[in-house]
Amino acid sequence: MNIAVSDIQSALARANLDGWLFFDFHGANQIARDIVGVKGMVTRRWLCWVPKTGSAQIIRHAIERQPFASLNVPQREYSSWRELDAAIRSALGGARRVAMEYSPDNAIPYIACVDAGTIEKLRSWGLEVVSSADLVAHFLARWTPAQISGHRETAGALIEIKDRAYTLVTDSVRSGKKLTEYDVVEYIKGLFQAQGLVTDEGPICAIDANAGNPHYEPTATSSAPIGRGQLVLLDIWAKPAVEDSVYADITWTGFTGREVPKKITDVFEIVKRARDRAVEYANERLSAKAILHAYEVDDACRKVISDAGFGDRFIHRTGHSIGAAVHGVGPNIDNLETQDQRRLEDGMCFSVEPGIYLPEFGIRSEIDVLIENGRAVVTTLPLQTEIVRLPV
């Protein structure tokens, strides 16, 4: 297994659980595959039972030996559904409280990987099924020292790429050369390639009203030209093209002109205060040795924007987990779209990216925060403290 059974059992004991039951069908539960270490095509149901004491056990179909061959875990085969049910019952023994990739009320859909029918079956056998959300975060969302080091290097590279993109905007507008949002995106992608960075999607360049759409994406056929007197938002995320690397993710805003309109600066100041309050609140809780829940950080950040009268214009969660995927499997800073009650622990990284989205423009300021040695540390420095002036 990719995670030592003994480490899982220690976590089960702390959580007062009888075991962790991994279940997957047709790759619906990537979390289970990642933790157990299953690779290759598996077309039938499989399970792995890790009790709080004793040996783990894999239950798989008789025709699917190869994907499990390298796993040093006892295995039991089945062919019929009756044999499958009997094997599960036998493996569980006297267990009563079992963790699975399930989320009550679908509150954290990122964890809801097991179908309702399987949950219903286990409950009919007298088991209490509880969410594995905190277990998943503990084992899959904490970074290694090498990942932390690589993330910091990537964060520095993204700050440099942001600067170069804004220089391109300044030079092009000043010289009268046509430049679109899409051109900037393609330019940034070229810098990614030159520096050995990759991304799943994006980046984003959005001006004025387009920046008021948080997930706006310019295309070759639909992209606005950039001129004088415009707000230019850049949202850039990437990771090194090497195994086990993790993402960095930033958003900055600039203005093509020496004097930024007061309404833009006023909105930016509110967003900046909200961003900084999120980090401040996290450190208040951590300094007090209190449990830090992800949703509480969202509340602290969101309150600043709501108190300023723009609560209805902050239309997404404060931040997301960051890992090998830009939206990782760990806790999201969210009490809006979901109530993410997972704990934030040392080694976990997440974005803080409050935004205010108006019809004429949008402002978002995004930083990455790492819980490290009991502190919430911003890794994407320097912080943006004012709108970037692009003198054209």
- Give pLDDT tens digits for 54-80: 999 999 999 999 999 999 999 999 999
For residue 267 the two structure tokens come to 């909105």
Let me know if domain 5-140 sits in CATH 3.40.350.10: yes
Which residues lie closer than 8 Å to 114 by C-beta, 6 or more apart? Answer: 23, 28, 29, 100, 101, 102
Q: How far apart are CA 286 and CA 142, in angstroms?
A: 17
How do residues 10-36 score in pLDDT, each as one tens digit?
A: 999 999 999 999 999 999 999 999 999
How much is the pLDDT for 153?
98
> pLDDT tier at 390 (50, 70, 90 boundaries)?
very high
Neighbours of 390 (CB within 10 A): 22
Which residues lie closer than 8 Å to 149 by C-beta, 6 or more apart? Answer: none
Domain with CATH 3.40.350.10 in the chain: 5-140
For residue 332 the two structure tokens come to 């999201």
List C-alpha distances in Å: 206 to 24, 190, 320. 40, 18, 21
For residue 329 the two structure tokens come to 């499997």
For 318, phi then psi, to 5°, come to -70, -35
Q: How far apart are CA 354 and CA 252, in angstroms?
A: 12
Domain with CATH 3.90.230.10 in the chain: 145-389
Fill in the DSSP letter of residue 257: S
What pTM, to 2 d.p., does this model score?
Answer: 0.94
For residue 108 the two structure tokens come to 């954290």
For residue 391 the two structure tokens come to 């003198």
What average pLDDT does range 300-318 have in this prediction? 98
**270 dihedral zone (left: phi>0; alpha: psi -120 to 50; beta):** alpha
- What is the chain's mean pLDDT, rounded? 97
Quick one: which of 123, 128, 41, 44 has its CA closest to 81?
44
How do residues 70-120 score in pLDDT, each as one tens digit?
A: 999 999 999 999 999 999 999 999 999 999 999 999 999 999 999 999 999
Quick one: which of 87, 66, 70, 82 has its CA closest to 23?
87
Q: How far apart are CA 173 and CA 254, in angstroms?
A: 13
H-helix or E-strand containing 6?
helix 5-14
CA 356 to chain centre: 21
What's the CATH code, domain 145-389? 3.90.230.10
